[in-house]
Amino acid sequence: MNVDAIHDGIVIDHIAAGSGMKLYRLLGLEQLEVPVAMMTHVSSGKLGRKDIIKIDAPLPVNFDVIGYVDPGATVNIIRDGQLVEKKQIGLPEKLVNVLRCKNPRCVSSCEQELDQVFLLADAGRREYRCRYCETKAAEI
């Protein structure tokens, strides 16, 4: 398989194998009109297998979404064909408008203009709870 190098853009690397599509959907990459390459189950010396997403455009990405899907992922920023920044992603403390509360009586379900806010409740279990009603977030 041969995927061209990108000139200006973003490479999301070290994504746990099989998690790339979740990340693709949550980041809304299907709506972009720029080249996006996704490789799944690529050999990795560090992880055994991994997924990689390459976006051939200098777009902002939501690091909280990346950390939610895989806190071990890295983001490489490419400018003029050169790596200019490498970011280690961790588990975010707060997610805003990434998840929706499943509790139909939650104020965030009734008030459409209210942000959907989830706070990290247990880092070991990667568990998030709604800021307003404490309902546990559904698995992605």
The verdict on 99 and 66 lying in the same domain is no
pLDDT in tens, 72-86: 999 999 999 899 999
Query: At 109, is the secondary structure helix, strand, or coil?
Result: helix
Rounded Cα gap, residues 115 and 108, in angstroms: 7
Percent of the chain with pLDDT over 90: 77
Question: C-alpha 35: how far from its chain's center?
Answer: 18
Whether 25 is covered by a domain: the verdict is: yes
pTM: 0.86
Query: At 21, is the secondary structure helix, strand, or coil?
Result: helix
**What residues does 12 pair with on adjacent strands?**
53, 75
Which domain range does residue 126 map to?
94-130
Q: Please work out, in degrees rounded to the nearest 5, the angle formed at the alpha carbon of residue 9 by the alpha carbons of 119 and 65.
A: 10
Neighbouring C-beta atoms of residue 23, cutoff 10 Å: 23
Which residue type, as a one-letter code, is found at position 137? Answer: A
pLDDT in tens, 41-82: 998 888 799 999 999 998 888 999 999 999 999 999 999 989
Number of structural domains, the chain?
Answer: 2
Whether 139 is covered by a domain: the verdict is: no
Whether 39 is covered by a domain: the verdict is: yes
The verdict on 40 and 71 lying in the same domain is yes
The verdict on 23 and 83 lying in the same domain is yes
The per-residue pLDDT for 97 is: 92
The verdict on 58 and 107 lying in the same domain is no
The verdict on 46 and 115 lying in the same domain is no
